Amino acid sequence: MKIKENISLKDFNSFGIEAIAKFFTIISSTEQAQEISESLIIEKNNSLVMGGGSNILFTRNFDGLVIKNEISGIELTNETDDFVFIKCGAGVIWHELVLFCIERNYCGIENLALIPGCVGASPIQNIGAYGVEVKDVIHAVEAVPFFDSKIISFSNNDCHFGYRESVFKNKYKNQFIITSVTYKLKKNPVFNISYGAIPQELERMGVKDLTIKGIALAVINIRNSKLPNPKIIGNAGSFFKNPEISIAQYEELKIKFPSIVGYPTDKSNVKIAAGWLIEQSGWKGFREGDVGCHEKQALVLVNFGKATGADIYKLSERIIESVFQQFQIRLEREVNIY
Ligand code: EPU
């Protein structure tokens, strides 16, 4: 395991932002995660573990150690009549895991096809799309704490999952190297096509018999139709979370803005489509220099080429401010800022 100095992170973050890591290393096994965790360099520096770099915005150079997680491997560790348990290295590309499961008819993550990033980020973020959140299929997470080499196992409950939230984003932020995630997937498919765009797309595709593959393909088509490919235009998916407001506030807003898009989350709250709020505030398709707000999905901020992290951050401030002025709702960023 080599520690390099002054390494550009441009190719390691999906925004394509230039930032220099003072130290940089790649780990490709649990043993290497243990080795780096115990080492002096981690004690002396801020450390940041990166997977696919698809949910991060660098606003400055990183004055510490970046650990790029490339721990690989997908294995079936247990099987019952109804479930399979798939243990996956944290550095595996998420969509490769989805393809592995689709091929074998393991059900549960097909709606999460094509989400950028690596397996290790899936519990941190509780990634979600098209009516499914990964928390519903995470069985266990293994991680090595900084400054120690003991492998700790977290059950689903230990992870304290919430909407795009977990203990790894809060209490344990930047304190662990996640080494593997074990998913509990169904052998007998239970399809989730509750999300409006999926049935529409399946119909357009002419699918009659529902399969896991068919759903994944529908999701891939929907994503490709409105989300920019980070390899072509730098971005980190949704930049903001969908905010939750009280039913009372929602009812009030609905009088003024009858087309507001909201989904009840429980008896007292409604989740509002942040994309709608941003679009209504006039930002959709906005471009200034090389920063912009995507023309097909206003929740996605983009780098057209030479934008800096600070430029993108400034645009996000302007959007938060203008949405607040118009709707009295303060958007929160989903992307991690450094
Ligand atoms: N909308 C607009 N204008 C826009 C975008 C959206 O009016 O520019 C409205 C539309 O009415 C649309 C509704 O918002 O029907 C919902 O839009 P969409 O289906 O695109 O989903 P979203 O709520 O904007 C969330 C996730 C996405 C995920 C999609 C699909 C968050 C922050 N984002 O977006 O996740 O792919 O649902 O499930 O929860 C990500 O986290 O990076 C991400 C892309």
Computed over every residue of the chain, the mean pLDDT equals 96
Residue 44 has pLDDT above 90, yes or no: no
Q: Which of 164, 201, 244, 316 is catalytic?
A: 164
What pLDDT digit, counting tens, does each position of 206-256 carry? 998 999 999 999 999 999 999 999 999 999 999 999 999 999 999 999 999
Q: Write down the architecture of domain 234-337 according to CATH.
A: Alpha-Beta Complex (3.90)
Q: Which atom of ligand 1 is nearest to the CA of 261?
A: 11
Q: Which atom of ligand 1 is nearest to the CA of 297?
A: 8
Segment 265-287 shows an average pLDDT of 95
Name residue 144's amino acid: V
Residue 43 has pLDDT above 90, yes or no: no
pLDDT at 301: 98
Q: Above pLDDT 70, what percent of the chain?
A: 100
What pLDDT digit, counting tens, does each position of 136-156 carry? 999 999 999 999 989 999 999
Q: Write down the architecture of domain 4-69 according to CATH.
A: 2-Layer Sandwich (3.30)
pLDDT tier for residue 1 given thresholds of 50, 70 and 90: confident
Q: Write down the architecture of domain 74-186 according to CATH.
A: 2-Layer Sandwich (3.30)
pTM above 0.85, yes or no: yes
Q: For residue 142, which phi and psi values (nearest 5 degrees)?
A: -110, 140
If 0-12 CB within 10 Å is exposed, 13-18 middle and 19+ buried, where does residue 36 land? buried
Residue spans per domain, the chain:
4-69, 74-186, 234-337
pLDDT at 45: 81
* 238 part of the active site: yes
Q: What is the DSSP string of 172-187?
A: TTTSEEEEEEEEEEES
Terminal Cα distance for the chain, rounded: 25
Which residues line the pocket of ligand 1, CB cutoff 6 A?
129-130, 195, 237-238, 241-242, 261, 273, 275-276, 279, 284, 297-299, 334
Same fold, 74-186 and 234-337: no
| Residues 195 and 45: beta-carbon distance below 8 Å | no
What pLDDT digit, counting tens, does each position of 71-94 carry? 999 999 999 999 999 999 999 999
Q: Where are the beta strands (DSSP E) in the chain?
A: 4-8, 20-27, 47-50, 56-57, 62-69, 74-79, 83-89, 128-129, 132-133, 138-145, 152-155, 176-186, 234-238, 244-246, 262-264, 269-272, 287-288, 291-293, 300-303, 336-337
Question: Using CA atoms, how far apart are residues 146 and 71, in angstroms rounded to an integer?
Answer: 17
Residue 41 has pLDDT above 90, yes or no: no
Query: Among 55, 94, 238, which residue has the most ligand 1 atoms within 8 Å of its CB, making it the best to mutate?
Result: 238
